[in-house]
């Protein structure tokens, strides 16, 4: 996103869908394999944290099975793949100032809630699919994809485990949280990322349980994978 653009106005939302990619038979890049059947999955949840560029934050995100803590700066997109609503998110500024932090909550193609704060160390909250009375236990395994650069642009991604595929579109930078891949058991996970319009070199990390297990840099399309 260009620094000259004000983030106080309207923002293009993260659009997140999950779909059957049976025709693709899985990620078709490098040695990513072919998980087999990829049935339709329910619509997923995503979040867009916007406001004054560079505002630091710490978020806790949860669905009914798993929770994650995510730190970053404005703007950042966060998406849950293989989501299990209801969902709950709380995003807190980690700066003692009056900068704006706004939270946009999206399910499928629908914007659910919008909350903002300009308070010192202020918090914005949101939910999807009803009330989640408490944050779930930390995700296990904790599988995350970090799409770090380029700093401007939109990407499409195909996220897979050994049974299911999920397609999504998001703005960069983004954190993709894969809830309970392979039923919460060990197994292969893949991610293929393609820029809608080339705006710079891709930089993508795949982290499992806090450790980066594979990184990829390249042009319009990159892929990362781990396990099996």
pLDDT digits (tens, 9 = 90+) for 3-49: 333 333 333 333 333 333 322 232 222 233 344 444 545 556 799 99
pLDDT-based confidence at residue 113 (cuts at 50, 70, 90): confident
Task: Classify residue 184: in a domain, yes or no.
Answer: yes
115-134: average pLDDT: 94
Task: Classify residue 1: in a domain, yes or no.
Answer: no
Q: Tell me, what's the pLDDT at 190? A: 97
Give one DSSP letter per residue of 75-144, joined into a string: SEEEEEES--SSEEEEEEE-SSS---EEEEEEETTEEEEEEEE-STT-EEEEEESS--SSPPPBPSS-EE
Task: Classify residue 98: in a domain, yes or no.
Answer: yes
Task: Classify residue 43: in a domain, yes or no.
Answer: yes
Task: Classify residue 5: in a domain, yes or no.
Answer: no
Task: Classify residue 20: in a domain, yes or no.
Answer: yes
Domain that holds residue 49: 15-226
For residues 201 and 6, what is the distance between their CA atoms, to the nearest angstrom? 24
207-219: average pLDDT: 96
Task: Classify residue 84: in a domain, yes or no.
Answer: yes
Task: Classify residue 2: in a domain, yes or no.
Answer: no
CB burial class (10 A; 0-12, 13-18, 19+) of residue 19?
middle
Phi, psi of 184 (to 5 degrees): 85, 10
Half-sphere exposure of 115 (CA within 13 A, CB side): 16
pLDDT digits (tens, 9 = 90+) for 156-180: 999 999 999 999 999 999 999 999 9
pLDDT-based confidence at residue 195 (cuts at 50, 70, 90): very high
Q: How many domains does the chain have?
A: 1
Q: Is the pLDDT of residue 86 over 50?
A: yes
């Amino acid at each position: 996103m260009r620094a000259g653009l004000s983030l106080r106005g309207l923002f293009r939302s993260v659009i997140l869908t999950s779909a059957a990619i049976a025709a693709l038979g899985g990620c078709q890049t490098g040695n990513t394999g072919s998980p087999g059947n990829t049935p339709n999955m329910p619509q997923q949840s995503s979040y867009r944290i916007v406001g004054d560029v560079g505002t630091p934050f710490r978020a806790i995100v949860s669905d009914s099975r798993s929770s994650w803590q995510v730190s970053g700066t404005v703007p950042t997109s966060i998406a849950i793949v293989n989501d299990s609503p209801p969902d709950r998110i709380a995003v807190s500024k980690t700066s003692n100032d009056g900068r704006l932090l706004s939270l946009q909550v999206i399910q499928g193609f629908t914007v659910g809630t919008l909350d903002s704060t300009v308070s010192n160390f202020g918090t914005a909250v949101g939910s999807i699919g009803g009330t989640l009375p408490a944050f779930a236990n930390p995700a296990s395994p904790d599988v995350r994809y970090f799409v770090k650069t380029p700093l401007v642009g939109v990407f499409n991604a195909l996220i897979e485990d050994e049974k299911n595929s999920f397609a999504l579109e998001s703005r960069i930078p983004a954190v993709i949280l894969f809830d309970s891949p392979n039923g919460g058991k060990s197994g292969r996970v893949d991610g293929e990322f393609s820029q809608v319009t080339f705006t710079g070199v891709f930089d993508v990390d795949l982290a499992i349980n806090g450790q980066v297990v594979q990184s990829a840099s390249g042009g319009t399309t990159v892929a990362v994978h781990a396990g099996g």
